[in-house]
Amino acid sequence: MSPKAIRPDTSDGHRGVGPLIPPLAESQRPLRQQVFELVRAAGLIPRVQVAKDLGVSPASVTTISSELIEAGLIEEVSAPRENEAGRGRPAVALGVRAQACLVAGMKLSDREHTAVIVDFAGKLIADDVIPRRPGPMSLAEILDAVQTLLERVCMKAGVDRSALSALGLGVPGFVDCAEGMVFWSSVLAERSIPLAAAISARLGLPAYVDNDANLVALAELWFGAGRSLSDFAVVTIEHGVGMGFVMNHRIYRGAQRVGMELGHMKVQLDGALCRCGQRGCLEAYIADYALAREASTALNWGHKESQPINVLLESLYDHAKAGNATAKSIFRRAGRYLAVGLSNVVNLFDPSLIILSGERMRYDYLYAAETLAEMDNLAINTGRPRPPIEIHAWGDLLWAHGAAALALSEVSETILSSQGREIAAQ
């Protein structure tokens, strides 16, 4: 294909130049939504502070907050003034009305399924975990598992399923969140499944599905270390290798909404077989099954292949800690590949923070000093320090919290947009 020549427009028409940014784009959200999100992020905040933070008039904030209170989304909360206990009227702040709705968040994984129920303010009401058999599941089995787990966690919360406003769900693999479509997942036997629609039809409940690593990033953005950061990366290492990237306080998914698949970045041509079906993926050298495969070969552990993978990995880790050179070399090799992946994250995105998350982060050989030093060597040398790296060895409940945040985000945006249309029509 020959290059296309780009020439300036010389016509007399007023065609305009520069990027065409749609009205009310991500950076220009309606003021009503900005007010609500600021109140939700702050917990409690006076009206005057909302006006100051958003750079709008107090009168505008008063009008919008009254509308949000009337809609039952936020409420006024009395709080004693600092250093003025018992004197005068208490200060009035705005806060999210926790009772406005309940949502569920759920993570489906290769080893177990987890679920939480949270209120509109993001407070945990109940959680539950159920084990699962290894191997991909059919859609019917997935739907049964989701329904069973949801009924269990609702029972723990003391609420009926009909009281929920939405369900957020995280699965490993290639997921289009906007369409609710799972193109491939290690927990699903079929490909290209409209999972969100199938769950909604089974449960009679709005369902939203996303890649599980995106939901870990969302959990950090809503509840964890990323709340005050505009740009950061989360790399998850468990049964697979995933990545969630936050750009300008929002999850970045790519043009077709299936981006940030760090685990399937190629690090070796015609290399080890990945569970996605291709060869040479980063995941095929770092994930659970990769470490187990190396252990079975290098340590002649073929007789242990029938053991659960977490038991085999614990044994491998114990051998490494006891000084077994072969076991240590397996972790060291995986750590070097991890350094390749992390250095590419730095070179491509320059995040303010990289969070390593997942159960495998208990295995400190993966992020030993040698690994981080190798990452420094592979990253572009600009003379500036590399971004800090934090280790978050959270359990699966963090992933479920991210799924709940997805549901809360979708529910609140739906309510706010419908309320805006009603007000505009008046």
The single residue of 119, 176, 212, 231 carrying the catalytic annotation is 212
State the Cα–Cα distance between residues 11 and 9, nearest whole angstrom: 6
State the Cα–Cα distance between residues 99 and 90, nearest whole angstrom: 23
- pLDDT at residue 362 is higher than 60: yes
**Least confident among 188-192, 255-259, 348-352:** 255-259
Count the Cβ atoms, other than its own, within 10 Å of residue 130.
Answer: 13
pLDDT of residue 232: 94
pLDDT of residue 408: 94
State the Cα–Cα distance between residues 109 and 112, nearest whole angstrom: 6
State the Cα–Cα distance between residues 185 and 272, nearest whole angstrom: 19
pLDDT of residue 110: 81
Dihedral pair phi/psi, residue 63, rounded to 5°: -65, -50
- Active-site residue 350, yes or no? no
pLDDT of residue 117: 96
CA angle 121, 123, 124 (to 5 degrees): 150
Give the residue, 209 or 393, on which the prediction is more confident: 209
Count the Cβ atoms, other than its own, within 10 Å of residue 395.
Answer: 12
Locate the domains of the chain by residue range.
Answer: 26-96, 100-217+398-417, 227-396
- pLDDT at residue 25 is higher than 90: no
State the Cα–Cα distance between residues 92 and 94, nearest whole angstrom: 7
The partner residues of 92 in beta bridges, in order of sequence, read 78
- pLDDT at residue 28 is higher than 80: no
pLDDT of residue 9: 56
- pLDDT at residue 332 is higher than 60: yes
Averaged pLDDT, 243-263: 90
Averaged pLDDT, 136-165: 95
- pLDDT at residue 80 is higher than 80: no
CATH top-level class of 100-217+398-417? alpha beta
Q: What are 277-287's pLDDT values in tens digits? A: 899 999 999 88
The pair of three-digit structure tokens given for residue 36, joined into one six-digit string: 């609500």
pLDDT of residue 214: 94
- pLDDT at residue 63 is higher than 90: yes
pLDDT of residue 189: 94
Task: Name the pLDDT band for 11 (thresholds 50, 70, 90).
Answer: low
pLDDT of residue 124: 92
Averaged pLDDT, 365-375: 78
Fold of the 227-396 domain: Nucleotidyltransferase; domain 5 (3.30.420)
**Least confident among 101-110, 257-266, 304-313, 398-407:** 304-313
State the Cα–Cα distance between residues 107 and 132, nearest whole angstrom: 12
Q: What are 85-105's pLDDT values in tens digits? A: 555 556 789 999 999 999 999
Specify the 3-state DSSP secondary structure of 204. Answer: coil
- pLDDT at residue 304 is higher than 70: no
pLDDT of residue 75: 92
User: Which of 207, 130, 131, 176 lies closest to 403, judged by CA?
Assistant: 207
pLDDT of residue 3: 57
The partner residues of 77 in beta bridges, in order of sequence, read 93
Averaged pLDDT, 388-407: 84
CATH top-level class of 26-96? mainly alpha
Is there a common fold for 26-96 and 100-217+398-417?
no
Average per-residue pLDDT for the chain: 86
State the Cα–Cα distance between residues 397 and 403, nearest whole angstrom: 10
User: Which of 298, 306, 331, 303 lies closest to 317, judged by CA?
Assistant: 331
Task: Name the pLDDT band for 120 (thresholds 50, 70, 90).
Answer: very high
